[in-house]
Each structure stands twice: as structure tokens, then as C-alpha cells.
């Protein structure tokens, strides 16, 4: 069941406050010596991830005890019955590798889904003093400025291509080759959430990754849509629980990038159902 507008208003207000506060905590922890571990190949976890996530979940649970929560580190918690109605999806630090290596390109990303649809998103990039936010149907903002995607010729486009060890290396190198063949260039700055926020703000023109988790993407996907961009149907199948491929871009680049990346083709859902 979709939640009422007034209930969404209070969640929107709480989200901005909690995202800002979580960003501040992450910034404080960034300057301290911190324990770093590997969860998998090039997949980092620090003490800060757990601390920031616990803080976010505690604050939001206090205000909205009937909601469900899905966090990168803590998994599912809260009211399990609300999983299909009111769910917060939280990445305490994205990209943890940048954070662990003392690089400032990281953020806190929080999304809220109402009845399975993206309703709210916030991304705090504390080292840059940036708070990105979006509400479905009401636009996307960076601090207090409205964001807009930047359409450009594919030959002038900058496309971020995310990487993780969850997919074989050759699928990434082949993706890079196919995107370069369109005439666009590519970069990999590390944070999927910030990569999507940059598309929404017209700094880059597209973001693609062959597998990414929902906590890394949902807030940014709402921002791209609200800023006039196009995104694939990330939540199709079990996107929320298991992640999916993602493609988000300025609308004029959609055809070229769908063809080059293979993400977002009309038959994609069907293929996923069959496999």
C-alpha cells in the first residue's frame, strides 16, 4: 500500500536530516585511524561502515518504527511485514574502497521505497559539502539547486563504468571497449551512488555497471529520473534483494548506450525470467 503524502513529507524531512548527520559522522571517522578488512576481492569493509549504518537505522527506526530496513552491512531489519510497503535502503559508505584509501570520493546513500516504488533518495558527500536529494514527482536537488541531466552528442559524452569482482574481468573490459567504440569516453571514480548523482547533475552523461546492489543505486536512480534522465528497470526481478545491472543516462544517449552495454533492452526482463 502506498503511504499518504503527509507521511512521505515527514520521511523526506527526516531523511535529509539523517543523511546530513550520517555524512558528518563519516567525515569525522575519515580523519581517524580505522580498522580495514577485505570481505572479498577488492571489496572493503571498515569500522566506519557499521557505525554509520547503525546510526542511520537507529534514528530512522525511532521515528518510523513500523518501517522495514535493508542495509549493506546489517541486512534486513525492522518490521518484516512492511518489506513491500515502506522500506529504507541504506549504504553507509559508498565507495568503501575510496574511504579506506583516504580518498574523499565517498558518500552516504539512503533511499525510501513506498509500495515497491522509489519515493525518496538522499546522498551526502561530506568531503565536498554536498547533499543531493530527490522526491518522486518533485525534482532532484543538489543542496538547494535543482539538478538537470546534460544531453550531449555521444562523441562528447563521459560515461562512468562501475566495476566489481562480482562479474568476470573480461565482461568489464569488453564493456569499456564497446562504450569507447561509440565515441564516448569513460571513467571509474569508485562510488556508484555518486556516479549516478553526477549524471543527475549533468557532470557526466551516463553510468553503467553490469551488477550493482540496490543500496548503491536506488537513491541515485531516483535523482537521474527526477533530473530528466532515463534509467533501466533496476528493480525488475529481484533487483532490491540481489542487485541488477544498471544503466542511467541523459535521454538522448539512451539508444546508443543500450546498444553498446546491452543493459535496458526491451527483452531484458524476459531473459531474466527465463534464466
Q: Which residues bind ligand IPD (CB under 6 A)?
A: 72, 91, 94-97, 162-164, 190-192, 209, 212, 216
- Closest to ligand IPD by CB, 3 or 239: 239
Cis upstream peptide for 95 (omega within 30°): yes
> Rounded distance, CA 133 to CA 112, Å?
11
- Closest to ligand IPD by CB, 216 or 268: 216
- Closest to ligand IPD by CB, 149 or 196: 196
Distance of closest approach, residue 225 Cβ to ligand IPD, in angstroms: 19
Distance of closest approach, residue 188 Cβ to ligand IPD, in angstroms: 8
- Are 99 and 106 contacting, i.e. CB atoms less than 8 angstroms apart? yes
> Rounded distance, CA 46 to CA 96, Å?
7
Catalytic residue set:
72, 91, 93-94, 96, 216
- Are 150 and 205 contacting, i.e. CB atoms less than 8 angstroms apart? yes
* Strand pairing report for 145-146 and 185-187: unpaired
Which of 175, 153, 156 is closest to 164 using CA atoms?
A: 175
Report CA dihedral (139, 145, 151, 154) to the nearest 10 degrees. Answer: -120
- Closest to ligand IPD by CB, 8 or 48: 48
- Closest to ligand IPD by CB, 162 or 206: 162
Distance of closest approach, residue 146 Cβ to ligand IPD, in angstroms: 25
Distance of closest approach, residue 3 Cβ to ligand IPD, in angstroms: 27
DSSP conformation class of 236: S
3-class secondary structure, 180: helix
Which of 79, 116, 81, 109 is closest to 3 using CA atoms?
A: 116
> Rounded distance, CA 258 to CA 249, Å?
10
Distance of closest approach, residue 185 Cβ to ligand IPD, in angstroms: 18
Amino acid at each position: 500500500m502506498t503511504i499518504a503524502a503527509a507521511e512521505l513529507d515527514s520521511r523526506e524531512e527526516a531523511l535529509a536530516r539523517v543523511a546530513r548527520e550520517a555524512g558528518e559522522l563519516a567525515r569525522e571517522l575519515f580523519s581517524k585511524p580505522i580498522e580495514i578488512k577485505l570481505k572479498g576481492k577488492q571489496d572493503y569493509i571498515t569500522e566506519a561502515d557499521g557505525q554509520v549504518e547503525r546510526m542511520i537505522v537507529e534514528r530512522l527506526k525511532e521515528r518510523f518504527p513500523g518501517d522495514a530496513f535493508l542495509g549493506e552491512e546489517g541486512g534486513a531489519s525492522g518490521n518484516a511485514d512492511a518489506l513491500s510497503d515502506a522500506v529504507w535502503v541504506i549504504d553507509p559508505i559508498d565507495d568503501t574502497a575510496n574511504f579506506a584509501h583516504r580518498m574523499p570520493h565517498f558518500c552516504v546513500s539512503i533511499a525510501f521505497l513506498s509500495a515497491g516504488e522509489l519515493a525518496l533518495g538522499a546522498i551526502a558527500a561530506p568531503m565536498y559539502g554536498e547533499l543531493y536529494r530527490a522526491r518522486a514527482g518533485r525534482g532532484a536537488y543538489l543542496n538547494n539547486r535543482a539538478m538537470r541531466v546534460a544531453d550531449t552528442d555521444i562523441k562528447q559524452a563521459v560515461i562512468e563504468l562501475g566495476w566489481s569482482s562480482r562479474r568476470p574481468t573480461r565482461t568489464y573490459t569488453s564493456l569499456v571497449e564497446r562504450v569507447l567504440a561509440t565515441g564516448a569516453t569513460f571513467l571509474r571514480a569508485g562510488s556508484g551512488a555518486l556516479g549516478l548523482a553526477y549524471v543527475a547533475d549533468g557532470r557526466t552523461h551516463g553510468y553503467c555497471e553490469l551488477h550493482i546492489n540496490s543500496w548503491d543505486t536506488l537513491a541515485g536512480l531516483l535523482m537521474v529520473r527526477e533530473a530528466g534522465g532515463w534509467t533501466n528497470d533496476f528493480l525488475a526481478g529481484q533487483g532490491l534483494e540481489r542487485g541488477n545491472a544498471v544503466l542511467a543516462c541523459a535521454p538522448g544517449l539512451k539508444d546508443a548506450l543500450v546498444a553498446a552495454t546491452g543493459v535496458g533492452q526491451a527483452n531484458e526482463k524476459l531473459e531474466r525470467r527465463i534464466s
